[in-house]
Chains A and B, each alone.
Chain A
Amino acid sequence: MPKKTLFILLSLTLSAQAAYAQGTEYDRYGRVYRDGAAPSSDRNAATDFLTYPLQILRWPINKTMVFVEKNHVDTRIEWAYDSLINRGITPHLGLVNPVKGHYGLEVDWVRLANQRNRFPDWKANSWIYGSKDIYFQVGSELGWQDVTGSGLGASGMVQYEKRPEVHFNGIGPNSSAGDGTSYKMETTTLGPKISYDPRPTVSGDVFFNYKNVNITNGEDGGRGIIDEIFAGQNIPGLAGDELLSLGTEWVHDTRNHRELSTRGGERRLAFSYNEGIAGSDARYFKYETELSQYLRLASERRVLAFHFHGEHNDEINNGTVPFHQMAQLGGFSGRPRNSQTLRSYDYNRFYDESSVLFNVEYRYAIWENREFRVDSVLFWDEGQVFGEFSEFKLNNFRESYGLGFRLSVANVVLLSLEGAHGDEGTKVYVKSRTPF
């Protein structure tokens, strides 16, 4: 149809609705309308009915939002939190997988007693952490820190920790996911420590610990009993152990943020000698190294993050390495877990005397507003456990890969959602931090 005809038709359609202005003046801003009457909205009931049920849901949310802002509820919470910290009490709230709360409280007794200015070097801290069915930890540390600005410190620590349902599928890279058992581990640790933090980027300590590890059946009841499933296998440490450890740990940290770092890295080296007492035949050296490096890819919004963790526990003089102190892989590392990040596998999925683990993440910002930011992360985890170095085999590596999103404010992660896939299935994590 020719364009002109279209215009004519359009004109006819429009003008059919027109009612002519009255009078002789062309009052450009006058209340003269095409249909002769002031217009009004005629939609709503006919077109909006699908939204009515949703408006009922919206109403309480609107009321809550207005109430929070009008009554400064957010400011009050922030003030209460800051006030607690200023008084020496630091509350912690987080998420662990599956979606469970992780709570904690740290108390700086010197600050709580309002004596921090008087005794700036004193250290008197206590803490309590917990997450239902996962762990409970309580402890205290007493001593001196950064004495007269020298970086030197000395302290004594006592801590009790209970893990009611630690998973165990056997030792070695080829253990079966079907052989799932769990055990309950209660650990009491006490001992002195000398620390040296000469610069903000370097810290180290030398420690001597007594550790009592008590192993009993897991509380979840859904998994087999270790003694039955692994009957006939000589798993060291099943009866628990009492250990004395002498060790040292050094950290060099050049990251620009503790989380979501965009440059620098962290290097951690640890070594300890461990000796079983009171009937325990444990005797081994533990070597551990951890490296992370963050590379900014032409912008703060794109970061390639590398992480390596290696651990070797070396028996000496016919001693053993208790299974509960072995290298462990699986899940999402960090508090409250004690196994290293291999995200598509169950927590503590692999145990052995040694492990190597590589993690690579490509992190990139997909949304920013002021200090709020959402990063998307593509990751690849590659790791294996093995006994002696001669048992290390390339084809024993297990991998996980996946995708995640991390919401942060001022480079502190508030919420992380990650999904990982591997040969034992897919796992989803809801967290409030990064794995490294």
Chain B
Amino acid sequence: MNSAARFASFFAVLVTLLPMAGFCQELKAQETGLYRDMFDQGIYYESTGLLHLDRLYRTLFRKEARSRDVNAFDEVPDNSFFINRHGRKSLTSDDLERGYTETPMDLSGPVSVVKGKSEGLHPGFFVRDTAGNNYLIKFDSFDYFELATAAEIISSRFYHAIGYNVPQYDVVTIGADQLQVGENASIIDDTGFKKPLNSEKLEEFLLFVPRDTDGNFRVSASKLLKGENKGFFNLTSRRKSDPEDAIDHEHRRDVRALQVFASWLNNNDTREGNTLDMLVEEDGRRYLKHYLIDFNSTLGSAAKGAKPPMFGYEYFFDGGETLKTFFTLGLLEKPWQRRWRESGEKITTSPALGYFDNSGFRPDKYKVQLPHFAFKNLTKADGFWAAKIIKSFSDGDIRAILGTGKLSSSEDVDYLAKTLVERRDIIAKYWFEEANPLDDFTYSGDKLSFADLSVKEGFASAENTRYVFDVIGKQGNKGSRLATVENGAPALQIQQDWFSQAQTLDILVRTLRGGKSLPPVLVEVNADQILGILHQD
């Protein structure tokens, strides 16, 4: 056999066996970290992306890939990644504040340090409370008291209300003498080696974390999750060994939409290392539950302090931005550079807020620190879906959640509320203009009605809006156009004689606004009910 034939045989075996390998695996714990994430997303996937023929095809022909986890009504049914919460029905202030809570940390007695936290960039400990429950506690950076802890709790509440699974997070105050070294406690110190933790070492460590005015420690405490830890979940592909994980994650709307939610909460650290799969048993069912974790790099916070000015604007390795600057000889001022210059190259807000404002913010330009195909695949329909969830948070809802951050200054709370409300509206306006923002379809048999969210939210006026309905009668697989109706109101009167010619109707609704025709929404109805809704890209 010559070498070419040998190579061809090897390649054929490889191509056959590799895809099968996934199905043969058990649910093994997958490991990742910042370095692997940076290599995978920043280098490997970026350089090999177009070797995936479907991506190549979509890139060459500018085709969108519709999300595959949506139902017939263009919504994401509840699943192990996402449960419709606030977007489905407004949660009460109490629910929003409570978030996901099992049992509050028991601080009636000592809190034992079990070991030091060795992953990530924020200092912390694994501790056991008086009731014997285990938590991960993390401190603020010395010069940024309240920043990371508030960001973590606030964002965890938002993600939970949006619909994602998150651990229990709370801001907790621990007395200076309450933290004690537990039996066989250990720590990875600044040598990188594991050392036994004793009282002296603990005191030494605590010298470098800030305290409140009473000398107590303010921490973010997350309760360790129940179940078997199976590591991170991939943001691109599915876990083939999980029979319930049927759709590649880059084609899941609930994964793609993380990009939009990240733009709202300034979570530029949205990456695989900040996800977690737990094998849990609930209601007699054993399944893999997918969590988002680690939110202390959200809002104005980043590891070790305020967000650096380029965060949210560029990937860690950003070839496009780098080439742009290279070819313009550094003369082109980037938006983040302009924003930083305009603020005098310093942070003008309180240390508890870090660096977070809406100056130069553009929802379509927001970047998390590593590129992910899931986020690049985001379609207008996906963006609209995420934006309407974001818009479902009222000003009061936002304030209710901000209260959980326990910021000591009401001015800081006001600033955050103002920034998040503004950003919510910027995001909603953008996506409501990109997609056709028609929602809340109702059908009574003789009338199809809906809400135009742009008009409803005050982004557009009803007077300047027209709706064009193309009615197509369907009989089996055959269809014929029955009528075209233009209307100034968000409703269509159904003429019963249409059903004499067809079993079902496909109604394409276009919205004409500002001289622009928005992508159509397809609504399928029969004489009794709505059968399907589809927002086009």
Please report A residues at the B interface, Cβ cutoff 8 Å. Answer: 4, 7-8, 10-12, 14-16, 18, 20-21, 24-34, 38-41, 43-56, 58, 61-62, 65-66, 68-79, 299, 301-302, 362, 364-370, 374, 376, 378
What 0/1 pattern do residues 43 to 85 of B give for CB contact below 8 A with A? 0100010011110000000000000110111011110000010
Question: Do residues B504 and A369 form an inter-chain contact, with CB atoms below 8 A?
Answer: no
What's the Cα separation between A66 and B232 when bound, in Å?
A: 13
Asked if B36 and A69 make an inter-chain contact with CB atoms under 8 angstroms apart, the answer reads yes
Q: Which of B33, B188, B191, B316 contacts A65 (CB 8 A)?
A: B33
Q: Are B314 and A30 in contact (CB under 8 A)?
A: no
Q: Given A70-B119, A79-B191, A370-B308, 20 other A-B contacts at CB below 8 A?
A: A11-B472, A14-B522, A20-B504, A29-B76, A34-B72, A43-B52, A45-B15, A48-B51, A48-B53, A54-B44, A54-B51, A62-B32, A65-B33, A68-B35, A69-B34, A73-B192, A75-B191, A366-B326, A376-B326, A378-B329
With A20-B526, A365-B330 given, is the CB distance from A34 to B532 under 8 Å? yes
In the assembled complex, the CB of B159 is this many whole angstroms from the nearest CB of chain A, namely 19
Residue of B nearest to A367 (CB): B322
Task: Let me know if B246 and A41 touch, CB within 8 A.
Answer: yes
Chain B residues with CB under 8 A of A30: 71, 73, 77
The answer to whether A369 touches B308 (Cβ under 8 A) is: yes
A61 to B190, CA, bound (A): 25
Q: How far is the CA of A313 from the CA of B474 in the complex (A)?
A: 98
21 contacts between A and B (CB under 8 A): A8-B470, A8-B508, A10-B520, A10-B536, A15-B504, A29-B71, A30-B77, A32-B73, A39-B246, A47-B54, A48-B52, A51-B52, A52-B15, A54-B48, A54-B51, A56-B14, A69-B119, A70-B119, A299-B337, A362-B329, A368-B310
Q: Chain A: which residue is nearest B321 at the CB level?
A: A367
Cα A51 to Cα B248 with chains together (Å): 16
B520 with A72: CB separation less than 8 A: no
Residue of A with least CB distance to B31:
A66
Contact: B71 with A33, CB < 8 Å? yes
Q: Are B72 and A364 in contact (CB under 8 A)?
A: no
Residue of A nearest to B33 (CB): A69
A376 touches B330 (CB 8 A): yes
| Alpha-carbon distance between A85 and B316 when the two chains are bound, in angstroms | 31
Measured in the bound complex, the distance between the Cα atoms of B119 and A68 in whole Å is 12
Shortest Cβ distance from residue A19 to the other chain B in the assembled complex, whole angstroms: 8
For chain B, give the interface size range. Answer: 35 or more
Please report the C-alpha to C-alpha distance between residue A302 and residue B326 in the assembled complex, in whole angstroms.
12
Interface check B484, CB cutoff 8 A? yes
Query: B446 near A: Cβ within 8 Å?
Result: no
| Chain B residue at minimum C-beta to C-beta distance from A15 | B506
Contact with A along B178-193 (1 / 0, CB 8 A): 0000000000101111
The residues of B that contact A11 with a CB separation of less than 8 Å are 470, 472, 479, 506, 508, 522
Given A10-B508, A62-B39, decide whether A26 and B484 contact each other with a Cβ distance below 8 A: no
B83 to chain A minimum Cβ distance, whole angstroms, is 9
Please name the residue on chain A nearest to B78 by beta carbon.
Answer: A29
B→A interface (CB under 8 Å): 11, 14-15, 18-19, 31-36, 39-40, 44, 48, 51-54, 68-69, 71-73, 75-78, 84, 88, 118-119, 188, 190-193, 238, 246-248, 251, 308, 310, 314, 316-318, 321-322, 325-326, 329-331, 337, 341, 443, 470, 472, 474, 477, 479, 481, 484, 504, 506, 508, 510, 520, 522, 524, 526, 528-532, 534, 536
A20 cross-chain contacts in B, Cβ below 8 A: 504, 524, 526, 531-532
Q: Is the CB of A367 within 8 A of B318?
A: yes
Select which of B48, B52, B330, B477 is within 8 A of A302 by beta carbon.
Answer: B330
| Residue pair B248, A364 in contact (C-beta under 8 Å) | no
B325 touches A365 (CB 8 A): yes
Q: Complex Cα distance A33/B15, Å?
A: 32
- Give chain B residues whose Cβ lies under 8 Å from the Cβ of A52: 14-15, 18
Pick from B32, B238, B524: contact of A18, CB below 8 A: B524
9 residue pairs, one from A and one from B, having the closest CB atoms: A364-B330, A75-B192, A76-B192, A72-B192, A69-B33, A40-B246, A65-B36, A65-B35, A41-B248
Q: Is B508 a contact partner of A7 (Cβ separation < 8 A)?
A: yes
Q: Is the CB of A4 within 8 A of B484?
A: yes
Q: Which residue of B lies closest to A372 (CB)?
A: B316
Contact A21-B246, Cβ < 8 Å, known A53-B14, A62-B40 = no
A14 x B534 contact (CB < 8 A):
yes
Selected from A55, A76, A302, the residue in CB contact (under 8 A) with B18 is: A55
Contacts of A18 in B (CB 8 A): 72, 524, 531-532
Nearest A residue (CB) for B534: A14
| CB contact between A70 and one of B31, B477, B534 (< 8 Å): that residue | B31
A52 to B508, CA, bound (A): 42
Given contacts A29-B75, A40-B246, A366-B325, contact A16 B477 (CB under 8 A): yes
- A140: min CB distance to chain B, Å: 31
Known: A16-B477, A18-B524, A58-B44. A66 touches B190 (CB 8 A): no
Assess the A8–B472 pair: CB atoms within 8 A. yes
**How distant is B237 from chain A, measured CB to nearest CB, in Å?**
8
Chain B residues contacting A365 (CB-CB under 8 Å) are: 325, 330
Q: Is the CB of A49 within 8 A of B479?
A: no
A366 proximity list for chain B (CB < 8 A): 322, 325-326, 330
**A58 CB to nearest B CB, Å:** 5
Please measure, in the bound complex, the distance between the C-alpha atom of A25 and the C-alpha atom of B39, giving whole angstroms.
48
Q: In the complex, what residues of B have CB within 8 A of residue A367's CB?
A: 317-318, 321-322, 325
Contact of B36 among A49, A56, A62, A75 (CB under 8 A): A62
Question: Is B52 a contact partner of A29 (Cβ separation < 8 A)?
Answer: no
A11-B508, A365-B330 as given contacts; A26 in contact with B529, CB under 8 Å = yes
Cα–Cα, bound, A62→B34 (Å): 11
Contact partner of B322 (CB less than 8 A), chosen from A34, A79, A374, is A374
A79 pairs with B15, CB closer than 8 A: no
- B329 and A364 contacting across the interface, CB-CB below 8 Å: yes
Q: What is the CA–CA distance of A129 and B190 in the complex, to the nearest angstrom?
A: 30
A66 CA / B31 CA spacing, docked (Å): 7
A66–B477 Cα distance when bound, in Å, is 53
B508 touches A39 (CB 8 A): no
Please determine whether B524 and A15 come into contact, CB atoms closer than 8 angstroms. Answer: yes
B40, A58: Cβ atoms closer than 8 Å? yes
Least CB distance from A50 to B in Å reads 4
Chain A residues, Cβ within 8 Å of B534: 14, 34
Instruction: Report if A12-B192 is in contact (Cβ < 8 Å); known contacts: A26-B73, A68-B35, A301-B330.
Output: no
Cα separation A8 to B520 with both chains bound (whole Å): 11
**Chain B residue contacts of A12, Cβ below 8 A:** 472, 479, 506
CA distance A299 to B325 in the complex (A): 14
Distance of B54 from chain A, by nearest CB (Å): 4
On chain B, the residues within 8 Å of A47 by CB distance are: 52-54
Which chain A residues border B477 with CB–CB below 8 Å? Answer: 16
Residues in B with CB closer than 8 Å to A26 are 73, 443, 529-530
Quick check: A21 and B532 within 8 Å, CB to CB?
Answer: yes
In the docked arrangement, what's the CA distance between A336 and B520, Å? 69
Closest to B251 in A: A41
Tell me which residues across on chain A come within 8 A of B77, comparing CB atoms. Answer: 29-31
Partner of A369 from B316, B337, B524 at Cβ < 8 Å = B316
**B472: A residues at CB distance < 8 A:** 8, 11-12, 15
- Tell me the smallest distance from the CB of B115 to a CB of chain A, in Å: 14
In the assembly, what is the distance between CA of A217 and CA of B500, in Å?
A: 105
> Which chain B positions have C-beta within 8 A of A56?
14
Tell me the complex Cα distance, A299–B248, Å: 45
- Whole-angstrom distance between the Cβ of B255 and the nearest chain A Cβ: 12
A364 closest partner in B (C-beta) = B330
Q: Give A21 Cβ to nearest chain B Cβ, in Å.
A: 5
**Chain A residues near B314 (CB, 8 Å)?**
369
Contact B75 A28 (CB under 8 A): yes
Which residue of chain A is the closest to B329 with respect to CB atoms? Answer: A364
Q: Which residue of B lies closest to A5 (CB)?
A: B481
Nearest CB of chain A from residue B535's CB, rounded to whole Å: 12
Interfacial chain B residues near A51, Cβ < 8 Å: 48, 51-52
Contact A70 B52 (CB under 8 A): no
The distance from the CB of A61 to the nearest CB of chain B, in whole angstroms, is 6
Which one, A61, A74, A79, contacts B39 given CB within 8 A? A61
